[in-house]
Structure 1
Amino acid sequence: MNEASQISEFGKVFIYLIMGVLFVLFTFFLGWLVALKKPNPEKLSSYECGEEPTGSSWIQFNSRFYVIALVFLLFDVEMVFIFPWATVFGQEVLLNADPRWGWLSLIEMFIFVGILLIGLVYVWKKGDLNWIRPEQLLPAAPTKISFSVYQALNDEKYQVKEFALNNVLVEPEKIQTAANPSSFKPAFKPKFKRPAE
C-alpha cells in the first residue's frame, strides 16, 4: 500500500528536466549580462583551434573522414546499447522469475553484435578502413589503343642530355639579324604613376 505511484516518479523526472533547462538558460543569460560588448575584427573572426583561418572554407575533404566517423559512430551506439543490456542481463531477479529470459537476452545480443560485425567486415573488405595506402586501381577508359602500347612507352629507355654550365651564348648580332625588327613588339608597356602630392 505504500507503493509510490508512477505519476509521481514521472513528475520527478519532469521537474529534473525543467530544472536542467532553466539552469542552462540562466547560465547563458548570466554570461550575456556580464560579458563585455566591444566587438572588433579579431573577436568577430572564426576561431579554428588557435589558428587563424585563411583561404576559403569551401575546400575538399577526403571522403575517408566521413566513413571513419560513421564507423566510429556505429560502434559508439553499440556501446550505448550494450551497457544497459549488461546491467539487465546480470539481474538475478529476472533470471529467477523465468530462466528463459537469460537465453533470450543472450541470443538477442549475439544477433545485434553479429549484425554490427557483418557491417564491419563489409567496410573492411571494401577497403574503406585503409587510410594510408588505398588500393591502386588502373583507370579504364573506352579506347582502341591496347594496354601493351602504353606499356611499351613506359618500358622504353630515353636518353637524357647532361646539364652543362658552359652553354654556348648566341652573339647579339645574330639575334638581331634573325628577328625581323619591324614585327618586334615589347611584351609589356611599363606605366609609371606620379605620386600623389
Structure 2
Amino acid sequence: MTDLVLLVVIFVTAGAALLLGPLVMGRLVRPDRPSPEKAEVYECGEPAVGSAWVQFDLRFYVVALLFVIFDVELAFFFPWAVVFGTASRAADPTLAADQRVAAVAQLDPSAVAAPDPAVMHSLAWLAFADILVFFGVLLVGFAYLWRRGDLEWVRSTAGQQAVE
C-alpha cells in the first residue's frame, strides 16, 4: 500500500515540476520592460471600435449547436462499425477456430474459446438493427429541425403575422 502511495506522490510531484518548472524559468529569464502599448488589450491587431455589447445573431449559435450535436452522434458510428465488422468476420463458418478467436479478441480480450458462428451472426444482426434504430432517431431529429426551419439561414415570413 505504501508503495502505491509513494508512486502517486512521485507522479504528482513530477507533474507539478513539469508544470511549474517552465513557468518559473520563464519568469526568471525573460526581460521586464513594461510599456503603455504592452498594457493595452490585444484585439487581433485592430483597435476596438464601438461597444462590445452588440446583439449577437442567434443563427450562428443554433448552427454551431446543431453541428456539435450531429457531429457527436456521428462519432458513435465508429465503435459500431468495429463491432459489426468483427462480428461479421467471426460469423463466417469457413473461418478457422483460431482466426475466429483472434477476431473476437478485438471485442473481448478475455475470449479464449472460439465462439459459435450462429451466435456471432446473431450479434452482427443485432448490431445492424441497433444502428438502424440509432440512425432512424437521428433522421427523425434532423427532419424535425428541417420542418421547424432551424436549418434555414433566412426564414420565410409566410406563416408569421405582421408586427404593428
Residue of 130, 136, 142 corresponding to 1:108:
130
- 2:83–2:127 contact (8 Å) kept in structure 1: no
- 1:47–1:53 contact (8 Å) kept in structure 2: no
Cα shift readout 1:121-172 (whole Å, capped 9, x = no counterpart): 11111112211x221233256xxxxxxxxxxxxxxxxxxxxxxxxxxxxxxx
Q: How much has 1:49 moved relative to structure 2?
A: 3.4
Q: 1:34 to 1:85 in 2, by over 3 A?
A: farther
Q: How much has 1:32 moved relative to structure 2?
A: 4.8
Q: Which moved more, 1:114-123 or 1:68-77?
A: 114-123
Q: How much has 1:50 moved relative to structure 2?
A: 3.4
Q: How much has 1:42 moved relative to structure 2?
A: 3.5
Q: How much has 1:35 moved relative to structure 2?
A: 4.3
Residue of 49, 55, 65 corresponding to 2:50:
55
Q: Distance in 2 between matches of 1:24 and 1:39?
A: 28
- 1:89–1:105 contact (8 Å) kept in structure 2: yes
Q: How much has 1:71 moved relative to structure 2?
A: 0.6
Larger helix fraction of residues? 2
Partner of 2:94: none
- 1:67–1:128 contact (8 Å) kept in structure 2: yes
Identity of aligned residues (%): 41
Residue of 124, 134, 141 corresponding to 2:155:
134
Q: 1:56 to 1:78 in 2, by over 3 A?
A: same
Partner of 1:80: 75
SS of aligned partner of 1:129 = coil
The residue identity in structure 1 corresponding to 2:162 is: P
Are positions 1:118 and 2:140 aligned together?
Answer: yes
TM-score of the superposition, structure 1-length normalised? 0.50
Q: Distance in 2 between matches of 1:24 and 1:53?
A: 37
Q: How much has 1:34 moved relative to structure 2?
A: 4.6
The residue identity in structure 1 corresponding to 2:136 is: G
Count matched residues.
125
Which runs of 5 or more residues in structure 1 are unaligned?
1-13, 142-197
Q: 1:126 to 1:36 in 2, by over 3 A?
A: farther
Show the 5 A alignment for 1:1-197: 25=19, 29=23, 31-91=26-86, 92=89, 93-94=103-104, 97=115, 98-99=119-120, 100-131=122-153, 133-136=154-157, 137-139=160-162
Partner of 2:111: none
Q: How much has 1:33 moved relative to structure 2?
A: 5.0
